[in-house]
């Protein structure tokens, strides 16, 4: 009994640690809830979808796995060679033989290092290609989402899905998959070699495997949840930054810096705590495995030295010094992959958590999709018809109620009404940005639901109240990727809308730098660039939605002059609060609470002395009082 006292002590320590770990697990399982309220995607489904991206590069992975075989041979053979060298030195010393064994060991090592380098380069190249494919698919899918869906999803969240999350997935293809497979093969090979050397000592090592499996299962449960917490906190932080950095001017104007700082600190603390939780889970698992490793070393020294002294173990196998040395190295080879499993699981769960977020975005069905029998339009005349159209953004809160009107080709039609009457909604529906609940919208007599969305929208040019300019230069903002357009054509469009007047005064002309959102240009200049952008794309239907609302009188006059020039281009739909902008329209449609209440040209509506007449009188009186 006294002989086995050290073993009993070590066993008791392992039992105490295991009991403590189980207790911590049961408590944490109740407290550590999944931070994501959405249904999680199973690991099997995540792996299946990720491997579909790796399929085109299966040859690269096959070569990487082939080179991996050489490093596995080194891991399995090196302990045997070291043990053989030790036995040669202590017993049958022969220099020439010793040098040959050392040379063999060095050769295997050099080949293994070369293969490891080749494997790393192959996987990095394949991983970057996979990463690019995931980013492209995610961005392409976001482009397909409807306006309603894009309004519901925070911009910062989408930015995180496209930029940050794919980086976490990269580790899975460049490191984790190959390492896990390699470690599994190394463990199997090491066990075979250990059984061949000494069964008793191998069985001693295997006594620790159930504890390792148990700790690994618990670690996996913890790890997945804390990684989701980190991912959610990171997304929340990015969303907050995206919104508040864009609105920093408003924060400063209203002197709310302290309040925003408090909000930022809350999110920063949340992210810090999430990362602390991840560190804690990682920090507990590895010491537990280390404890098992050192315990196995103690067992080896105890049983091995006892068998070495007695020159035989209880199973009758001889234990030599070479066996002890080889077993010492094999135990390290056996436990090293398991100890590294914590780091690999950390990266794996990080990859799974990020992949899960990306796949949730990819699983969002676009709110508006092409019908199976949708057609391409080569060109359109610009005839537009609404037939008893009903539409609402929220159920039973109707924005349009039975709206019907008819616009002839190349006709200029204006929509007038109070805020919320449905003017902008009508323009959005014509471009098929939303699905209507009832009725029909026809373009040249064809239901827009039977026209491919890309084909339909390519025939429209829009000028909005809030002009968005991209970072770059004036030319790129006008062209928006229309590379077949020459500078002469660009300047022709600029002259048509009077944008050339300020562009020609710039030092670099069309090459003038445009900063973020065009903040180095005035509102009027941004609107004129937007107008030129619309013209250069040669639309069949031009939409102006409050295009003159935020500009000065001089720029409005320039746009008015431009409108007269471009009337012949195609059908024009205009929304404007300033009635002076639309009084020369062929038809004016007056809306109120989602219904058409008046329709006619400027003179006809004035003669009716109805709602439009009252609006005109009100604006005319204000202009007289202001002296304009």
Domain match, 167 and 200 both: yes
The yes-or-no verdict on residue 84 having pLDDT over 50 is yes
Report helix, strand or coil for 375. strand
Question: Rounded to whole angstroms, how far apart are CA atoms 133 and 135?
Answer: 5
Domain match, 196 and 328 both: yes
Identify any residues that bridge with 589 across adjacent strands, giving them in sequence order. Answer: 415, 599
Question: Rounded to whole angstroms, how far apart are CA atoms 127 and 57?
Answer: 9
> Residue 296 maps to which CATH number?
1.20.1560.10
Confidence of residue 330 (pLDDT cuts 50, 70, 90): confident
The yes-or-no verdict on residue 325 having pLDDT over 50 is yes
Q: Is residue 199 part of a domain?
A: yes
Domain match, 80 and 197 both: yes
Domain match, 545 and 534 both: no
Domain match, 250 and 384 both: no
Looking at per-residue confidence, does 77 or 539 come out higher?
A: 539
Question: Rounded to whole angstroms, how far apart are CA atoms 14 and 17?
Answer: 5
Domain match, 416 and 500 both: no
Query: Cβ distance 85 to 101 under 8 Å?
Result: yes
Residue 181 is predicted with a pLDDT of 79
Q: Is residue 20 part of a domain?
A: no
Question: Rounded to whole angstroms, how far apart are CA atoms 57 and 52?
Answer: 10
Please name the residues in contact with 201: beta carbons below 8 A apart, sequence gap of 6 or more.
Answer: 194, 300, 303, 304, 313, 319, 323, 327
Q: Is residue 39 part of a domain?
A: no
> Residue 486 maps to which CATH number?
3.40.50.300
Q: Residue for token digits 């990362």? A: 275
Looking at per-residue confidence, does 20 or 553 come out higher?
A: 553
Size of the chain, expressed as the number of residues it contains: 628
Question: Rounded to whole angstroms, how far apart are CA atoms 529 and 558?
Answer: 12
Q: What is the DSSP string of 474-525?
A: HHHHHHTT-TT--HHHHHHHHHHTTTHHHHTTSSSGGG-EE-GGGTTS-HHH
Domain match, 131 and 220 both: yes
Q: Of 331, 362, 393, which marks where a domain is finished?
A: 362
Domain match, 220 and 357 both: yes
Q: Residue for token digits 């989602």? A: 594
Closest listed residue to residue 152, CA positions, set 318, 394, 475, 330 = 394
The yes-or-no verdict on residue 67 having pLDDT over 50 is yes
Domain match, 61 and 144 both: yes
Q: What is the dihedral of CA 440, 442, 446, 448, to 10 degrees?
A: -70
What are the pLDDT digits (tens) for 364-416? 888 888 888 889 988 888 999 999 999 998 888 899 999 999 999 989 999 99
Question: Rounded to whole angstroms, how far apart are CA atoms 548 and 555?
Answer: 8
Q: Of 315, 333, 362, which marks where a domain is finished?
A: 362
Closest listed residue to residue 28, CA positions, set 284, 209, 356 = 284
Number of domains within the chain = 3
Chain Cα centroid distance, residue 571: 39
Looking at per-residue confidence, does 533 or 82 come out higher?
A: 533
Token pair of 505 as six digits: 């005064």
The yes-or-no verdict on residue 299 having pLDDT over 80 is no
Q: Is residue 559 part of a domain?
A: no
Report helix, strand or coil for 377. coil
Domain match, 531 and 485 both: yes
Q: Of 334, 362, 390, which marks where a domain is finished?
A: 362
Domain match, 393 and 331 both: no
Question: Which span out of 153-157, 272-276, 515-519, 603-607 was modeled with the highest average pLDDT?
Answer: 603-607
pLDDT above 90 coverage of the chain, percent: 14
Q: Is residue 149 part of a domain?
A: yes
Q: Residue for token digits 């009084």? A: 583
Q: Is residue 293 part of a domain?
A: yes
Please name the residues in contact with 549: beta carbons below 8 A apart, sequence gap of 6 or more.
Answer: 465, 576, 577, 578
Which range marks the domain in which residue 478 is found? 465-538
Domain match, 207 and 265 both: yes
Sheet holding 438-443, edge to edge: 397-407, 384-394, 438-443, 446-447
């Amino acid at each position: 009994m006294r002989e086995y006292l050290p073993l009993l002590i070590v066993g008791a320590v392992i039992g105490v640690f295991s009991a403590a770990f189980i207790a911590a697990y049961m408590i944490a399982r109740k407290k550590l809830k999944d931070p994501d309220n959405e249904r999680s995607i199973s690991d099997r489904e995540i792996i299946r979808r990720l491997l579909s991206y790796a399929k085109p590069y299966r040859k690269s992975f096959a070569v990487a796995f082939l080179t991996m075989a050489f490093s596995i041979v080194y891991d399995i053979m090196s302990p045997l060679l070291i043990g053989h060298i030790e036995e040669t030195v202590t017993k049958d010393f022969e220099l020439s033989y010793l040098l040959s064994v050392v040379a063999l060991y060095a050769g295997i090592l050099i080949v293994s290092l070369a293969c490891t380098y080749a494997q790393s380069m192959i996987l990095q190249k394949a991983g970057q290609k996979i990463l690019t494919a995931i980013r492209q698919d995610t961005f392409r899918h976001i482009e397909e989402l409807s306006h309603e869906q894009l309004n519901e999803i925070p911009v910062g969240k989408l930015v995180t899905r496209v930029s940050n999350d794919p980086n976490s997935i990269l580790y899975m293809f460049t490191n984790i998959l190959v390492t896990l497979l390699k470690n599994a093969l190394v463990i199997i090979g090491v066990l075979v070699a250990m059984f061949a050397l000494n069964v008793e000592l191998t069985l001693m090592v295997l006594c620790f495997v159930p504890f390792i499996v148990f700790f690994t299962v618990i670690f996996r449960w913890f790890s997945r949840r804390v990684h989701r917490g980190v991912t959610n906190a990171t997304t929340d932080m990015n969303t907050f930054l995206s919104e508040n950095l864009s609105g920093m001017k408003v924060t400063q104007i209203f002197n709310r810096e302290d309040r925003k700082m408090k909000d930022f600190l809350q999110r920063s603390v949340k992210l810090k705590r999430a990362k602390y939780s991840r560190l804690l889970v990682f920090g507990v698992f590895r010491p537990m495995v280390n404890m098992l490793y050192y315990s196995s070393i103690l067992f080896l020294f105890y049983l091995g030295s006892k068998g070495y002294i007695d020159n035989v173990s209880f199973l009758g196998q001889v234990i030599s010094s070479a066996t002890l040395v080889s077993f010492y190295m094999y135990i390290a080879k056996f436990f090293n992959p398991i100890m590294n499993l914590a780091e690999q699981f950390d990266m794996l769960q990080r990859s799974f958590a990020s992949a899960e977020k990306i796949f949730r975005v990819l699983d969002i069905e676009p709110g508006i999709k092409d019908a199976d029998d949708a057609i391409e339009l080569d060109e359109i005349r610009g005839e537009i018809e609404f037939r008893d159209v009903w539409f609402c953004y929220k159920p039973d809160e109707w924005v349009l109620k039975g709206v019907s009107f008819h616009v002839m080709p190349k006709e200029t039609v204006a929509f007038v009404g109070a805020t919320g009457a449905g003017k902008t909604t009508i323009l959005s529906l014509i471009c098929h940005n939303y699905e209507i609940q009832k009725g029909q919208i026809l373009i040249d007599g064809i239901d827009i639901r039977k026209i491919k969305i890309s084909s339909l929208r390519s025939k429209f040019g829009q000028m909005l109240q809030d002009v968005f300019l991209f970072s770059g230069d004036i030319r790129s903002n006008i062209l928006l990727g229309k590379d077949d357009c020459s500078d002469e054509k660009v300047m022709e469009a600029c002259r048509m809308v009077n944008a050339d007047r300020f562009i020609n005064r710039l030092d670099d002309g069309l090459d003038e730098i445009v900063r973020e959102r065009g903040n180095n240009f005035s509102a009027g200049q941004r609107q004129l660039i937007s107008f030129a952008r619309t013209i250069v794309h040669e639309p069949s239907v031009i939409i102006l939605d409050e295009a003159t609302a935020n500009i000065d009188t001089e720029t409005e006059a320039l746009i008015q002059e431009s409108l007269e020039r471009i009337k012949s281009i195609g059908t024009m739909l205009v929304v404007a609060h300033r009635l002076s902008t639309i009084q020369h329209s062929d038809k004016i449609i007056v809306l109120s609470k989602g219904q058409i209440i008046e329709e006619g040209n400027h003179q006809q509506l004035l003669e009716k002395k109805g709602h439009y007449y009252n609006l005109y009188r009100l604006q005319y009186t204000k202009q007289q009082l202001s002296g304009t």
